[in-house]
Structure 1
Amino acid sequence: MVDEEMGPRQRGAETKRRRTRELIIVSTLELYDGKAEGDYTRDEIAAAAGVGVATVHNNFGSKYEVLRAAYDRLLSPLVDTIVEARKQRVYKPRDGVDELFRYIYTVAKVSHEHRALTVSMIRAYFDLSVDDLPYVPDSEDDLTEKEARRFLDTVLGGKIAEGLFAVLDTEAFPADKQYKGSLPTIFLYADALLMKIYHRKGDGVPVEITRDICTALLAVCLPEDDWSDIMGRIEAAKNMVDSRA
């Protein structure tokens, strides 16, 4: 139901719900901010937000959903800008491959800088019961827009995949190599990026991940091109992103 279709009481309840969710997300980000290790219980998240555990559960359902919402908030400035520009048909990077390096490096850097939150989100995902596991489509083919949205909003790595889909949907990559309509396939690369964050530590992790993920993607998307200078291009992307930080 859209806001215009709601009565005053419904609009008030919806506004309160959004404010409560925002409070919980912001409080979660503050708890994990600047931490490379560590985790918090749902009780501690509720206490930080000044609400009851039942309120956290009613708004998010599981700890994974809380951490996923907080992690998505970190990536939103990058991903939402790209996705919206693509919708408006004004997303036209000067060099699509350099844009891929920039995108993957930025995601890896943000995830690494907020490693405690990222790792805790991954653990919470794998702690879900079978009944609580996020929606996964039966097939990669012919996903409806609603199914794609549901997939991206629930599955681990969905926010990363959403942006990656837009990056690959440019003239730099051949149409038959872009995985159009195949978000579950792109999700595998997003999932791989998160698993690398989970298992690796150290200052060089974002560059290592960018190398691994982009090498795998380019081997599929542009297999005939020469990528002997891949580290140079990654370094250029790193310098660009770091200089804007």
Structure 2
Amino acid sequence: MAASDLAEPDDPRARAARTKRDRTRRALLDAADATFGSRGWADTRMEDVAAAAGVSAATAYNHFPSKHVLVGSVYGPLVRPLLSEAERDIAAGRPVVDALTDQIRALARISQRYRKLTASFWSAVEEYTIKVSGPPDTADDGDPRTLAPVPTPLRILIEHGQQTGQLRPFPSALDVSGMIVNLLLLRSINRKEEPADVTAELLLTVLFGMLRPELLANADNDERPFRRTDCADRRVPLDDR
């Protein structure tokens, strides 16, 4: 191969090509966000997203080989910051009850604010889980569950809490995190008008009822220890996605 055939890293043509690819990818992600959020999972085709982004269907498939990859790539940036937060909390030695409480409330806000997109993501997860008949595989880059690992921040915090004796050792962190996320996603579909703080209170009651039951047992009969009284979550502006 001739030397002229090799593009140098600072070759203007190579930079222009990378810029074009990045812009096309961004346009597809933005179009997918809007389309999944308005039409839902079943009524959105890759061709619809491509048309909204102003590119051909072939170009869309070159960037995202399936709808599952596309919706996972859209939803992933919403939840990945929570993983960084969980890792920081563990490194800082923050009490796991406080860290998990913040995580659950953040997830409830995300699912409410992006409720239509969340419903599309959940539909994709259900469909893909049936397709592969098994749990997520980190080597499978087409699995929306690995592209948007919603349970992972909860799982690592619960594992940390169980290892340090802050939480009961049973059920396992894998099982609990999966159950909590499944309940969250189902409520985002079936309880569309439920405020995020109400969803979070329910999830926290279920979570700590399994792993830190004394938080509930020591409360008065009419006390709800995870109830928000400042209504902070209600002030989060919602869009119609």
**How many residues of Structure 1 are paired with residues of Structure 2 in the alignment?**
220
Aligned amino acid, residue 114 of structure 2: H
Task: Give the match for residue 204 of structure 2.
Answer: 214
**Aligned pair in 2 of structure 1 residues 36, 177: CA closer, same or farther (>3 Å)?**
farther
Using the alignment, how far apart are the partners of 2:122 and 2:139 within structure 1? 20
Give CA deviations for 1:140-190 in whole Å, capped at 9, x if unaligned. Answer: xxxxxxx557599642895221121233224573373584xx546522321
Give CA deviations for 1:115-162 in whole Å, capped at 9, x if unaligned. Answer: 11111222233445965x48626xxxxxxxxx5575996428952211
Task: Give the match for residue 30 of structure 2.
Answer: 26
Say which of 47, 65, 69 aligns to 2:69: 65
Task: Give the match for residue 183 of structure 2.
Answer: 192
Do 1:152 and 1:159's aligned partners in 2 also have CA atoms closer than 8 Å?
Answer: no
Alignment of 1:133-144 (within 5 A): 133=132, 136=135
Alignment of 1:151-230 (within 5 A): 154-155=144-145, 159-168=149-158, 169-170=160-161, 173-174=166-167, 176-177=169-170, 179=172, 183=174, 186-204=177-195, 206-226=196-216, 228=219
Gaps of 5+ in 1: 1-5, 138-146
Identity %: 22
Which deviates more from structure 2 when the two are superposed, residues 185-194 or residues 17-26?
17-26
Task: Give the match for residue 43 of structure 1.
Answer: 47
TM-score of the pair, normalised by structure 2? 0.68
Tell me the CA shift for residue 107 of structure 1: 0.8
Tell me the CA shift for residue 218 of structure 1: 0.9
Gaps of 5+ in 2: 1-6
Q: Which has the larger radius of gyration?
A: 2
Using the alignment, how far apart are the partners of 1:67 and 1:86 within structure 2? 28
Do 1:83 and 1:166's aligned partners in 2 also have CA atoms closer than 8 Å?
Answer: yes
Do 1:125 and 1:156's aligned partners in 2 also have CA atoms closer than 8 Å?
Answer: no
Using the alignment, how far apart are the partners of 1:188 and 1:151 within structure 2? 23
Say which of 215, 228, 231 aligns to 1:235: 228
